[in-house]
Chain A
Amino acid sequence: MATDVQDVLGSSVKRVEDPRFITGKGRYLDDIVLTGMTHMAILRSPYAHANIRSVDTSAAKSMPGVIAVIVGADIPWNPLPMAWPAGGSSGIVNNVNTPRILATDSVKWTGEGVAAVVAETAEQAIDALEAIQVDYEPLPAVVDAEKATQPGAPQLHENAPNNVVFTWPVGDKAGTDKAFDEAEVVVRQRVVNHRLIPNPMEVRGDIGLYNPGTDEYTVWMSSQTPHIQRLLLAAFVTGIPEHKIRCISPDVGGAFGSKIFCYADMALVMHASKLVGGRPVKWVESRRESYGSTIHGRDHVTYIEVAGKKDGEVTGLRVKTYANLGGRLSTIGPGIPTTLYGRVLSGCYKIPNVYAEVTGVYTNTTFVDAYRGAGRPEATYVIERAMDLFANEIGMDKAAIRRKNFIPPDQFPFDNPSGLGTAVNGEKIYIDSGNYEPALNKALIAVDYQDLDKAKAEAKRRGKLLGLGLSTYIEVCGVAPSKWIGAVGEGWGAAMWESSNIKVHLTGKVIVTMGTQPQGQGHETTFSQVIAHELGVPMEDIVVQHSDTQGTPFGYGTYGSRSGTVGSTAAIKAADKIRDKARRYAAHMLEAAPDDIEVVGAEYRVKGSPEKKKTLQEIAFALDLGFSLPTGMEPYLDETAYYDTPNCTWPFGTHIAVVEIDEETGETDLIRYLAVDDVGKKINPMIVDGQLHGGIAQGVGQALWEAAIYADDGQLLSGSMMDYALPRASWLPSFELDETVTPSPVNPLGVKGVGEAGAIASTAAVANAVNDALAPLGIRHLDMPFTAQTVWRAIQTAKGGQS
């Protein structure tokens, strides 16, 4: 290890993960085959709402290959936990109902699990499901959150009158009401942020393996959070001691939030493996099944009110949101529309008075939880639509109104009085940094904003309505300070620090184990870059390991754009400890005082005598053997760090969408998409850009095509990939990315997180563009998704024709 090792931090090195993926050697859950493995299939309710009178499994038990049939009453374990109530310990009442491992008395959505079959093959298990007779008593269903709270709506749970899970207020109600009383202009609009299905390309699955000899369970799971799942399965669901459960996430084929959670199938494969004498039990959901067994996202109905002055100053924002949480609650369902939505509603604007009230609602639909951005795309949609609506009302330019209301760069850290800055038991977080106008200006120049009217006129001559939409977003990343998110009860009942262990082995090779859990983000590359930088070791000598509760330090996993900020800082802290011990041992080897050792890359030199030096490799070899140790020093270069972030991080930027709508057909074409993002410093710019691309595509997908649609009786009409319109290559343009760089002061790398930024910004940008295109027809607001039919109908209605 020489000092001339190239510093790879901040460079677009190719991913170390890719060789296995481009050659078909990735190892995803369904690729795992264990000796004696059995297969499980789950019978799911065809009704959205029904009582279960009886379940007859006798015929199924005699089907070919069937080993066991399981019903809910067989399983002695608890319902799944709900770990993030609205308002935490603030006194807000949460009327909690969570799924059982298998339903026993009633079903609340189409797709809730009722029984399971374990068989020799997957086909035999699926065949045997057909032979299970369930006697249902169908009940009236409700799928719309707003309707579900109305008098006379079908009631899902005895403990939740009017299907209300919680009503959660945030902000200063009196002050906001006063701002509205005194306002020169008030704008009101109802907006729907419709339901989405996350759709990672790999569906979920689990393999359970019970060891009768040791009474231990191993669960392979396609999960973003193996450590959390072990904790939840042990302490909340099964009662099996935590040290008797091992959870392993193999390669995970995308997740986007949907694989954060504790799912019934995880416990079910454990139960099933013990039931069949310790044979492994594999369950992999089908795509159709996934739409009912894995969480959905978004699904808000929101009433927006904006108060302000005729000069464009926004003085008040009042919001009422109905958040559809599904038939029963997922792991952190209530936390998403509260902490991660209600507290960031004012975005990047210095709106002095903000008040929001969020009502979480049960409906006969698949449970709703975190999907890429989780609350923040919904908040961005509200505030960015609000700014456009207000600008239109007073006839102000949409860039100008944003400039007028931005939090000025000299006001950071910004203590937003009605948002995240709201103290909970004295603890609060603040917006760490920002400089919003340069990003906006850069994007406006790139899109030739000054020529917008000319472009619209030119398009009009071709029969097209051109629209341009701005989204000057902000997001909260790097969740989160434990004392704020956990201990004081704002968030879930856990901490959110991260962990890393580094071992420099005898041969000088470095193994970094992390508590984070990638799903395509390239952690094995980026964490290697960070540690290569910290220790002066070539990347080829470093391997990053994760995913297995046996062999990695406890960590909270990967979501909320937290791994780059909280995770890599934990790795840096571990590297600090490695360097410190190596320095002390180098002093011992070189017979110098530790303070006289300077570290240059991987070389530990005596100050003033640079020829007297030891490399990290030499130090590790001697220290790991431990033949000669200074008094009190333990052998081995092996250090662990746990890092709790003092604050979240706050990426921001300006996204611009340009659309053309065919006035005859209503078809919307996204012709340009520009994004100027400030995600702070970058560990690997290539990976950062890739994260933005993917996030943008998902947000554009919501605006233009994607929608989970339920019939009134609770049947999911968009129940397959033939009906749920995922973005395809030919529907999207290439994206034009640029940046500003405002390093985050929160962590040593100055990074902010980028996993969700694209999805948070882009939906609002496209929605604003479509509404801008339709504005000349007198259309004030149209709800997403902007399918040709929706837009065509709006155009016809506006023109006074039949629709």
Chain B
Amino acid sequence: MTEHISLTVNGQPREGDVEPRRMLVQFLREDLELTGTHVGCDTSQCGACTVHLDGKSIKSCTMLAVQADGSTVTTIEGMAAADGALHPLQLAFWEKHGLQCGFCTPGMIMAAADLLTRDTEPSDEEIRHAIEGNICRCTGYHNIVAAIREAAVTMRAGAAAPTGAAAPTVANA
């Protein structure tokens, strides 16, 4: 028995027939082949599966795909601009060495993006609190905090400055 669901993922209309028990993360990874969202645990602890649902970060291992019917989902694959320009958080994680093995990174960036939409100038303490639901085993969080702090600065400057200067893309950075 399957249910039909329709949702918007990274700006594109997507649909599928899913078993009622199918988790959103499985739908994203296996049906839509968006494998940037990872599974690191089975108890909603690690946050590697963090995506945005209607603009807020959620753990996609803890939501059934059918519950996301009609929603708008953004994954790590949807964070760069349409022209390939990287999101300031992606750039800052790269610049500040905020990742090592990279497995927690997509979820960490999604959680941080949610924070920076709520608070444009978080303290280190607020950053550490905001990513408490995301576990990184490689970095000791030191450079992740630095990266989020840096991205906040970039985003504030970007919000204040006139548009025009394009951020670098992976290809030319």
Partner-B contacts on A (CB < 8 A):
12, 14-15, 17-28, 30-31, 33, 123, 199-203, 251-254, 256, 286-288, 519-522, 686-687, 689-691, 693-698, 720-722, 726-730, 732, 734-735, 758
Residue contact A287 to B42, C-beta cutoff 8 Å: yes
Asked whether any CB of chain A lies closer than 8 Å to the CB of B63, the reply is no
CA distance A87 to B41 in the complex (A): 38
Residue contact B76 to A23, C-beta cutoff 8 Å: yes
Cβ-neighbour of A721 out of B41, B97, B131, B141 (below 8 A): B41
Residue contact B106 to A24, C-beta cutoff 8 Å: yes
Residues of the A chain whose Cβ atoms lie less than 8 Å from the Cβ of B132: 728-730
Cβ-neighbour of A15 out of B19, B48, B97 (below 8 A): B97
Binds A, one of B1-9, B64-72, B142-150, B156-164: B142-150
Residues of the A chain whose Cβ atoms lie less than 8 Å from the Cβ of B138: 201, 254, 520, 690, 694
Asked whether any CB of chain A lies closer than 8 Å to the CB of B173, the reply is yes
Q: In whole Å, how far is B80's beta carbon from the nearest beta carbon of chain A?
A: 6
Using known A-B contacts A203-B40, A519-B101, A721-B41, determine if residue A23 contacts B77 with beta carbons closer than 8 Å: yes
CA distance A15 to B173 in the complex (A): 12
CA distance A717 to B43 in the complex (A): 15
Using known A-B contacts A520-B100, A694-B138, A720-B42, determine if residue A734 contacts B124 with beta carbons closer than 8 Å: yes
Residue contact A694 to B94, C-beta cutoff 8 Å: no
Residue contact B36 to A25, C-beta cutoff 8 Å: yes
Residue contact A694 to B140, C-beta cutoff 8 Å: yes
Residue contact B105 to A698, C-beta cutoff 8 Å: no
CA distance A175 to B45 in the complex (A): 52
Residue contact B42 to A729, C-beta cutoff 8 Å: no
Residue contact B141 to A30, C-beta cutoff 8 Å: no
Counting chain B CB atoms within 10 Å of each CB, the highest count among A200, A726, A728 belongs to A728
CA distance A24 to B39 in the complex (A): 13
Q: In whole Å, how far is A635's beta carbon from the nearest beta carbon of chain B?
A: 34
Residue contact B145 to A734, C-beta cutoff 8 Å: yes
Residues of the B chain whose Cβ atoms lie less than 8 Å from the Cβ of A251: 101-102
Counting chain A CB atoms within 10 Å of each CB, the highest count among B77, B128, B145 belongs to B128
Q: In whole Å, how far is A767's beta carbon from the nearest beta carbon of chain B?
A: 18
Asked whether any CB of chain A lies closer than 8 Å to the CB of B90, the reply is yes
Residues of the A chain whose Cβ atoms lie less than 8 Å from the Cβ of B125: 730
Q: Sort chain B's interface into a size bin.
A: 35 or more
B31-48: contact bitstring with A at CB < 8 Å (1 yes, 0 no)? 001111111111101101
Residues of the B chain whose Cβ atoms lie less than 8 Å from the Cβ of A288: 42-43
Residue contact A24 to B46, C-beta cutoff 8 Å: no
Q: In whole Å, how far is B131's beta carbon from the nearest beta carbon of chain A?
A: 5
CA distance A522 to B138 in the complex (A): 12
Using known A-B contacts A24-B77, A520-B102, determine if residue A253 contacts B38 with beta carbons closer than 8 Å: yes
Using known A-B contacts A252-B101, A254-B137, A729-B131, determine if residue A22 contacts B46 with beta carbons closer than 8 Å: no
Residue contact B34 to A24, C-beta cutoff 8 Å: yes
In this complex, what residue of A is CB-closest to B106?
A24
Residue contact A722 to B103, C-beta cutoff 8 Å: no
| CB pairs A–B below 8 angstroms (12 shown) | A19-B94, A19-B170, A23-B79, A24-B35, A27-B35, A30-B39, A201-B138, A253-B40, A254-B101, A520-B102, A694-B137, A732-B142
Residues of the B chain whose Cβ atoms lie less than 8 Å from the Cβ of A28: 35, 38, 103
Residue contact B94 to A697, C-beta cutoff 8 Å: no
Using known A-B contacts A24-B77, A26-B36, determine if residue A201 contacts B104 with beta carbons closer than 8 Å: yes
Residue contact A730 to B129, C-beta cutoff 8 Å: yes
Residues of the A chain whose Cβ atoms lie less than 8 Å from the Cβ of B143: 689-690, 693
Using known A-B contacts A22-B109, A520-B138, determine if residue A287 contacts B41 with beta carbons closer than 8 Å: yes
CA distance A287 to B106 in the complex (A): 19
Cβ-neighbour of A256 out of B75, B137, B140 (below 8 A): B137
Using known A-B contacts A24-B77, A253-B101, determine if residue A690 contacts B139 with beta carbons closer than 8 Å: yes
Residues of the B chain whose Cβ atoms lie less than 8 Å from the Cβ of A287: 40-43, 46
CA distance A720 to B46 in the complex (A): 11
Q: In whole Å, how far is A41's beta carbon from the nearest beta carbon of chain B?
A: 13
In this complex, what residue of B is CB-closest to A372?
B137
Q: In whole Å, how far is B20's beta carbon from the nearest beta carbon of chain A?
A: 12
Q: In whole Å, how far is A63's beta carbon from the nearest beta carbon of chain B?
A: 16
Residue contact A31 to B35, C-beta cutoff 8 Å: yes
Asked whether any CB of chain A lies closer than 8 Å to the CB of B135, the reply is yes
Residues of the A chain whose Cβ atoms lie less than 8 Å from the Cβ of B35: 24, 27-28, 30-31
Residue contact A693 to B140, C-beta cutoff 8 Å: yes
Residue contact B40 to A522, C-beta cutoff 8 Å: no
Residues of the A chain whose Cβ atoms lie less than 8 Å from the Cβ of B116: none
Residue contact A15 to B94, C-beta cutoff 8 Å: yes
Using known A-B contacts A24-B76, A24-B106, A729-B127, determine if residue A201 contacts B136 with beta carbons closer than 8 Å: yes
Residue contact A698 to B137, C-beta cutoff 8 Å: yes
Q: In whole Å, how far is B144's beta carbon from the nearest beta carbon of chain A?
A: 7
Cβ-neighbour of A24 out of B21, B36, B145 (below 8 A): B36
Asked whether any CB of chain A lies closer than 8 Å to the CB of B27, the reply is no
Residues of the A chain whose Cβ atoms lie less than 8 Å from the Cβ of B103: 26, 28, 200-202, 253-254
Residues of the A chain whose Cβ atoms lie less than 8 Å from the Cβ of B128: 729-730, 732
Residues of the B chain whose Cβ atoms lie less than 8 Å from the Cβ of A20: 102
Using known A-B contacts A28-B38, A729-B131, determine if residue A200 contacts B137 with beta carbons closer than 8 Å: yes
CA distance A722 to B45 in the complex (A): 7
Cβ-neighbour of B90 out of A12, A23, A256 (below 8 A): A23
Residues of the A chain whose Cβ atoms lie less than 8 Å from the Cβ of B48: 201
Cβ-neighbour of B105 out of A12, A21, A522, A693 (below 8 A): A21
In this complex, what residue of A is CB-closest to B102?
A21
In this complex, what residue of B is CB-closest to A199?
B137
Residues of the A chain whose Cβ atoms lie less than 8 Å from the Cβ of B124: 734
CA distance A31 to B140 in the complex (A): 25
CA distance A253 to B79 in the complex (A): 21
In this complex, what residue of B is CB-closest to A726?
B135
In this complex, what residue of A is CB-closest to B80?
A23
Asked whether any CB of chain A lies closer than 8 Å to the CB of B99, the reply is yes
Counting chain B CB atoms within 10 Å of each CB, the highest count among A17, A22, A33, A695 belongs to A22
Q: In whole Å, how far is B88's beta carbon from the nearest beta carbon of chain A?
A: 11
Asked whether any CB of chain A lies closer than 8 Å to the CB of B152, the reply is no
Residue contact B139 to A694, C-beta cutoff 8 Å: yes
Residues of the B chain whose Cβ atoms lie less than 8 Å from the Cβ of A123: 19, 21
Using known A-B contacts A23-B80, A24-B77, determine if residue A728 contacts B135 with beta carbons closer than 8 Å: yes
Q: In whole Å, how far is A720's beta carbon from the nearest beta carbon of chain B?
A: 5
Residues of the B chain whose Cβ atoms lie less than 8 Å from the Cβ of A256: 137
CA distance A603 to B78 in the complex (A): 44
CA distance A732 to B144 in the complex (A): 12
CA distance A286 to B46 in the complex (A): 13
